[in-house]
Amino acid sequence: MSVRLGISGTALMLLLVLSLSPPPASARAVHGWIDDCAWSHSIRMDPDGQGRSIKLHDVFGARDLRPASTVASMRAGGTTCPAADTAGYWAPALFKNGHRVLPKGSGIRNQVYYRDDNLRARTTVRAFPPGMEITAGNPHAATASGNPELGSEVYWGCSNDTPGGTKHTHPISCRTGIISLHVGFPNCWDGLHVSMTKTPNAVVYPHDGRCPSTHAVALPRVIERWEYPVGTRSRHIRLSTGPTFTAYGGFWNTWKQRALRKLVTTCLNGNRNCGVFGR
């Protein structure tokens, strides 16, 4: 189902290009863009669609994300991201000493990065197809080793970034009083299946910057970065899915598709650092 926009397609494309803020000179080698996406709401959902458990999750971006949502309802329902990004992003709810800690408040900045820095130079990136759903991390891990991406693609840090770039497997104490959860998604697609909840191997991580022949379609690299005001001591923290080693994230592409394709062409395939989208 298509969504009718209030302005012409040509005008929308012009606004998209003009709204890409110029990055600082020191960062021009980084290709892609960043979305500021505030916490939207919380819902109970099944982490992997297998009917094993229903857990509380925090949602960023699409205000309509709920079990009965469709691509059309997500696009029409509004967003906490820039207007064209009506996609849904989520992570398990976080608790400290048994009390809920929402990813919002003074000093909190939640962001989604769109990059191609895990792919070799001159790799052509394709926009996610409408309705694609990707997950990263293992919400059912029984041990830290049961979440293979922990400490690499899924990791904890501080709001002012971890000194030395260390990717921690558990929350650390931060002098800012704000911890961060980073979730990096796989971005090599088999070109057939659009839901990792139904086909877990539909999207995989590249190896040495290359997508395998079985998953030859390169997609944007999505990295979610959420912040939580837990105080300066990060003890007794759990997630709705269990211990902090069950950290994971989800992404559902319900972007306004023409806008997404334009950003992929301009910023990723155009080798441009487009900065923070919408500024």
Residues 220-238 have pLDDT tens digits of: 999 999 999 999 999 999 9
Banded pLDDT at 165 (limits 50, 70, 90): confident
Q: Tokens for 182? A: 């980073």
In terms of DSSP H, where are the helices of the chain? 9-18, 71-76, 257-263
Residue 165 DSSP code: G
The mean predicted confidence, pLDDT, of the chain is 89
- In terms of phi and psi (left: phi > 0; alpha: psi -120 to 50; beta: otherwise), the region of 106 is beta
Residue 245 DSSP code: G
Contact 212, 204 (CB under 8 A): yes
The C-alpha angle with vertex 161 and arms to 163 and 86, in degrees rounded to 5, equals 160
Residue 50 pLDDT > 70: no
Total-model pTM: 0.88
Contact 60, 226 (CB under 8 A): yes
Residue 163 CA: distances (Å) to CA of 34, 139, 221:
22, 27, 23
Residues 237-259 have pLDDT tens digits of: 999 999 999 999 999 999 999 99
Place of tokens 């155009």: 270
Q: What is the pLDDT of residue 22?
A: 42
Domain extents in the chain: 21-276
